[in-house]
Amino acid sequence: MNHKMLRLFLAALLPSAGICAGQTTFTAGKPVVVMTPDEITKMGFHYPDMQLCPIPGKGNPPLKVRWMHGIGSANAGFPAQVFEGALDRPGQTRIFVKKQSGYFSDPNRAGGNKWLMSIYQHSRDLLIGVCHVENAGSGGNLFRIGIAFSTNGGDSWTYLGHSLVSAVDDEKANIAGGAWAIKDEFFHVFFIQNGGAAGAVARASMKDLLEAVRDKRPVPFHKFANGEWAMPGLSTGDATTLNVPQIGNHNNVRRCRRDDRFYQVVYSVGKDGNALHLCQSSDLIHWTDLGPIGSGTSRLFYLTMLDVSGEAGDGTIGEAFYVYYADEVPNARPSPPSPGNWDKGNSHGYYRLRVDLKTEVPSENSREHPQTRPSLP
């Protein structure tokens, strides 16, 4: 085993520690496999091509949480899979597998194949989901981000329409992402421009978001560009690239209830190999890379952050949270080849590791205002 392989192997097994800005420290535990290739197949999908997406308000946390995943071939109707399980064994009971036509209604005829990337629980009876959309429009395989909502706990969704497009609107300009955060009465959505590592952010006011849900119409977003929130979400052109690569790419943003700062885990390919890095921000624009919490063998990762209580809906964490990610499972028996787009056996599963923060509480003068939830108009 060469030195680089040894370093990656040890990093995956041993707890790691880092020092955060503002006197915040963290420790990260050993990653463990929580969903094997066989369990992935049993839950109705073949290959982890997106992060695990907890469905707020379902199950009985911390004993059970309901989860969602979506991947499949066009022949299978690009299905969504919903399953239930404990925090340390997500893939235990399959609830349903539904085709697009049975999972999403599309009253504005926006079109495209939709995947729910992250979900916000606004109230007991209202879930708001951020969707990655492929094959949008009539110009070929175009990409969008849009908003959907559910009033039945995620058993079905209404897609309101497209809200964000990449800097260049063509078949190579994948707009990945879908992480969200609420700050100053605005609903922020993070995205990756043009299929690369350039993270960007857009926002809509909570008022506009809820009115759009009420009226079943697309949500008007504006991208952050050149120091302003003025670029319409469906316009092309470069939004401001955030300062840490991969910010908002197939992951979550979570606000810590202790220090009112925002955190997310990103994957980084660099001097420490394929690594998971913890990042921190106070304004959602400027991010600090606090260092690695673990490493892996592939670039799949697809990251989910979840408070240790199992509560997922309000976008917050305490000082202890779990990170779920997809990676190769050593010595695992590959699942059978898929009859759809994935024509080879899957040897990837989902891992979980625990991160513990030791945060410095802001003074009353510097503490951000608590997040509020406006009522549906």
DSSP string, 197-247: TEEEEEEEEHHHHHHHHHHT-----EEEETTEEEEETT--SPPPPPSSTTT
Provide the pLDDT for residue 184: 96
The answer to whether residue 7 scores a pLDDT higher than 60 is no
pLDDT in tens, 130-180: 999 998 876 678 999 999 999 999 999 999 999 999 998 888 788 989 999
The answer to whether residue 326 scores a pLDDT higher than 90 is yes
Average pLDDT over residues 207-213: 98
Give kind and range of the element (H or E) at residue 39.
helix 37-42
Domains contained in the chain, number: 1
- Any domain includes 42: yes
pLDDT tier, 74 (very low <50, low <70, confident <90, very high otherwise): low
Read off the tokens for 157.
Answer: 């969704």
What is the rounded distance in angstroms from the CA atom of residue 88 to the CA atom of residue 86?
A: 5
Domain containing 62: what range?
3-358
User: Which stretch of 58-62, 262-266, 318-322 has the lowest confidence by average pLDDT?
Assistant: 58-62
Q: Is the dihedral of CA 57, 47, 34, 91 positive or negative?
A: positive
The answer to whether residue 23 scores a pLDDT higher than 80 is no
Provide the pLDDT for residue 191: 95
Residue 3 — φ and ψ, nearest 5°? -65, -40
- Any domain includes 180: yes
- Any domain includes 377: no
Average pLDDT over residues 209-237: 97
HSE-up of 60 (CA within 13 Å, CB side)?
1
Q: From 304, 250, 337, 247, select the one nearest 34 (Cα to Cα).
A: 304
Assess contact for 171 and 182: CB atoms under 8 A: no
Provide the pLDDT for residue 58: 84
Provide the pLDDT for residue 193: 86
Q: Bigger pLDDT: 288 or 76? A: 288
The answer to whether residue 53 scores a pLDDT higher than 70 is yes
- Any domain includes 368: no
Provide the pLDDT for residue 87: 95
Provide the pLDDT for residue 255: 97
Provide the pLDDT for residue 340: 60
Give kind and range of the element (H or E) at residue 12.
helix 3-13
What is the rounded distance in angstroms from the CA atom of residue 244 to the CA atom of residue 228?
A: 19
What is the rounded distance in angstroms from the CA atom of residue 294 to the CA atom of residue 273?
A: 10
Share of the chain above pLDDT 70, in %: 86
Give the pairing type, strands 222-225 and 198-205.
antiparallel
Provide the pLDDT for residue 375: 52
Provide the pLDDT for residue 59: 79
pLDDT tier, 370 (very low <50, low <70, confident <90, very high otherwise): very low
Beta-bridged to residue 150, according to DSSP, are: 127
Provide the pLDDT for residue 56: 93
Provide the pLDDT for residue 369: 41
DSSP helix/strand/coil, 7: helix
pLDDT in tens, 289-302: 999 999 988 888 89
Give the CATH number, domain containing residue 130.
2.115.10
Provide the pLDDT for residue 78: 83
Whether omega before 62 lies within 30 degrees of 0, making that bond cis, reads yes
Instruction: Share the mean pLDDT of the chain.
Output: 86
Assess contact for 312 and 360: CB atoms under 8 A: no
